[in-house]
């Protein structure tokens, strides 16, 4: 972590850093106003999970991933029935970049601007195909990217067919707080991740289906929606959430697609399958 300038001595700060190999953590708190980055954590990691199954019987699945608040959660519980399913999940996280902390005092007063620039990028791509007929299945999934959220749930479906792809990308995160050192007033608190979430779902189901999303600016929600369908429905949804802020040395500039084998951004459904050309969803 780079802390620049003697001005930091004029602002009461607590900076906590932890660097066990390979994980890294930090939390920055300004004592007078209570402003904080919250706990940020990541590590250097690569994940590649793929598989398929076809058969008859019961099925249960649990998946949980969270790298620098780029996250995926999945819960599936199926009673006796027939199922044909395939999936692939690819992820790369990089936590060897810098976290830069700078405090600047306004001339002639006690106002300060405190900025934190974090460059710990993450890219995740996930796809799943499933076809189930049986006594009943509950399928819940959610994807998050630094507060933004998208998800879908199916409850009590005796017939469920779905194809889903999701791509999550975080390049860097930028915090800015403007405060007065005498009055201890926090004038504004900006939280600006450079992030992208792309979600695509096609499904046919009985029972209850719930689709939802939420998008944030700084730390407040600005767009959100929820849909509920009870009965027999065929659904198709594409959701794109993105926000960016100028700046920062992007350690992964031009490399996010390469590290995942994602060369053509227009071919969304192929992103998760790498350069080998194998597509689980084609079957």
| DSSP class per residue in 44-70 | -EEEEEEEEEEEEEEEEEEEEEEETTE
* The total number of residues written for the chain in this structure: 283
Domain for residue 262, yes or no?
Answer: yes
Domain for residue 104, yes or no?
Answer: yes
Do the bridges between strand 40-43 and strand 45-67 make them parallel or antiparallel, or are there none, so unpaired?
unpaired
Region for 117 from its dihedrals, namely left if φ exceeds 0, alpha if ψ lies in -120 to 50, beta otherwise = beta
**What rounded mean pLDDT belongs to the chain?**
81
State the pTM of this model: 0.80
Domain for residue 185, yes or no?
Answer: no
**What CA–CA distance (Å, rounded) separates 31 from 20?**
26
Domain for residue 264, yes or no?
Answer: yes
Spatial contact of 222 and 215, defined as CB atoms under 8 Å apart = yes
Q: pLDDT confidence of 244, banded at 50, 70, 90?
A: confident
Task: State what percent of residues in the chain have pLDDT above 90.
Answer: 56
Task: State what percent of residues in the chain have pLDDT above 70.
Answer: 78
**What CA–CA distance (Å, rounded) separates 12 from 276?**
53
* 3-state secondary structure at position 11: coil
Cα–Cα distances in Å, from 27 out to 13, 17, 57, 126, 184?
10, 7, 47, 30, 20
**What CA–CA distance (Å, rounded) separates 159 from 132?**
6
Over residues 183-207, the mean pLDDT reads 93
**What CA–CA distance (Å, rounded) separates 1 from 16?**
10
Contacts of 79 (CB under 8 A, 6+ apart): 58, 134, 135, 136, 137
Domain for residue 132, yes or no?
Answer: yes
Domain for residue 101, yes or no?
Answer: yes
Domain for residue 26, yes or no?
Answer: no
Which carries the bigger pLDDT value, residue 250 or residue 70?
70
Among 165, 161, 158, 156, CA closest to 131: 161
56-66: burial string, b at 16+ Cβ within 10 Å, e else: eeebeeeeebe
Count of domains for the chain: 1
Contacts of 76 (CB under 8 A, 6+ apart): 59, 60, 61, 137, 138, 139, 140
Domain for residue 256, yes or no?
Answer: yes
Q: Which domain holds residue 133?
A: 44-173+191-282
Do the bridges between strand 99-105 and strand 2-4 make them parallel or antiparallel, or are there none, so unpaired?
parallel
The model's pLDDT over 245-257, given as tens digits with 9 standing for 90+, comes to 544 334 334 444 4
The model's pLDDT over 225-242, given as tens digits with 9 standing for 90+, comes to 999 999 999 999 999 999
Spatial contact of 143 and 168, defined as CB atoms under 8 Å apart = yes
DSSP per-residue letters across 185-253: -EEEEEEEEEEEEEEEEEEEESSEEEEEEEEEETTEEEEEEEEEEESSEEEEEEEEEEE--S-S--TTT
């Amino acid at each position: 972590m780079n802390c620049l300038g003697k001005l930091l001595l004029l602002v009461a700060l607590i900076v906590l850093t932890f660097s066990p190999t390979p994980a890294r953590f930090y939390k920055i708190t300004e004592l007078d106003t209570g402003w904080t980055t919250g706990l940020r954590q990541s590590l250097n990691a690569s994940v590649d999970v793929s598989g398929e199954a076809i058969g008859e019987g019961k099925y249960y699945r649990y998946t949980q991933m969270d790298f620098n608040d780029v996250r995926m959660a999945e819960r599936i519980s199926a009673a006796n029935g027939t199922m044909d399913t395939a999936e692939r999940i690819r992820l790369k996280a990089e936590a060897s970049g810098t976290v830069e902390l700078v405090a600047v005092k306004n001339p002639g007063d006690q106002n300060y601007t405190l900025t934190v620039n974090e460059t710990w990028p993450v890219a995740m791509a996930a796809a799943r195909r499933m076809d189930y007929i049986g006594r009943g299945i509950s399928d819940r999934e959610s994807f998050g990217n630094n507060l933004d959220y998208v998800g879908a749930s199916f409850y009590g479906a005796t017939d469920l067919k779905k194809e889903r792809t999701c791509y999550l990308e975080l390049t860097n995160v930028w915090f800015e707080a403007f405060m007065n050192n005498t009055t201890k007033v926090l004038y504004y608190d900006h939280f600006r991740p450079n992030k992208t979430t792309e979600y695509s779902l096609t499904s046919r189901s009985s029972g209850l289906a719930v689709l939802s999303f939420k998008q944030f600016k700084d730390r407040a929600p600005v767009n959100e929606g929820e849909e509920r369908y009870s009965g027999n429905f065929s659904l198709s949804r594409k959701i794109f959430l993105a926000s960016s802020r100028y700046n920062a040395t992007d350690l992964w500039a031009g490399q996010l697609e390469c590290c995942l084998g994602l060369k053509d951004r227009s071919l969304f459904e192929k992103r998760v399958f790498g350069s080998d050309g194998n597509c689980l969803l084609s079957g």
